[in-house]
Amino acid sequence: MKKYIDNNIYDFILKTLKENDINDEIIKIANKMDVDLPNIFYEKILCVNNVDELSKNVDVVAKSLLGIYGNYLASYYYKKLGYDVENEYEIKEGKKIITKADIAFTNHEGDINLCEVKATPQIIDNVKNYNSIYKKECDNVFYLDMDSDIIKYKEIGNKLIKQVSKLTKTKNKVTVIIFEGCFIDDAIKDKLKAMGASIFTLAVNINELENHAYDIVYNVMSQLKSINNDEKMISGK
């Protein structure tokens, strides 16, 4: 991955990430997803002073990290079963890349399994199916932003159906991987079934995983404040 920041700063942020439960395999998967985590933390967190912008950026970084963690856990699960898992598996028509499967492996029957991983609390097709029980926590105050959540989770549903449609055209086995506690409405399930895709739920609670992603971001953000207090520590001077 191309580094847009000073090597010493980059290495310092990378070291901080690894101290906060982001191991080498997660970094590797992120890179395959074209996500450079040290650069993102630098641009979205470290270089932002506006409180409102920083709050929005924390959400962006946490959601990005959640998606990466989801792929990592799904990969880890299938690797523990003995499969040779490939991340960001390219789907081609001739030499042209049409899309990528989050993970892919050949099962014991010799069939290729293309997996789309969704680390999200909800996947909906119709606004009427929105699960209003789900709440977020911010500064120990629970709040519910239904409008933005409905739009977000409905868009996740739309993107999922479009992606699975591309994957099923390969005639390979297609699996949608979600996490324990994820609410997926019947309309989405019916569409996936009609395309021949199956749904598999990993025994990792999505709300706990999401909270963990936010904890990592806040912990890293707190540690990176030292950059402003002691620039010599990372400048090498």
pLDDT in tens, 2-21: 446 788 889 999 999 999 99
Residues β-bridged to residue 97? 92
pLDDT of amino acid 128: 65
Element (H, E) at 142: strand 141-143
Average pLDDT over residues 228-235: 50
- What long-range pairs does 89-92 form, CB within 8 A, spacing at least 24? 89/114, 91/166, 91/167, 91/170
Q: What is the mean pLDDT of residues 113-142?
A: 71
Among the listed residues 111, 107, 146, 108, the one whose alpha carbon sits nearest the alpha carbon of residue 128: 146
pLDDT attached to residue 234: 46
Q: What is the mean pLDDT of the chain?
A: 87
- Distance (Å, rounded) from C-alpha 105 to C-alpha 167? 14
What is the percent of the chain where pLDDT is above 90?
A: 68
CB 88 within 8 A of CB 104: no
pTM equals: 0.86
Predicted confidence at residue 71, as pLDDT, reads 98
Whether the per-residue pLDDT at 94 is higher than 70: the answer is yes
Task: Kindly give the interhelix angle for 206-224 and 51-80, rounded to the nearest 10 degrees.
Answer: 130
- Would you give the DSSP letter of residue 231? T
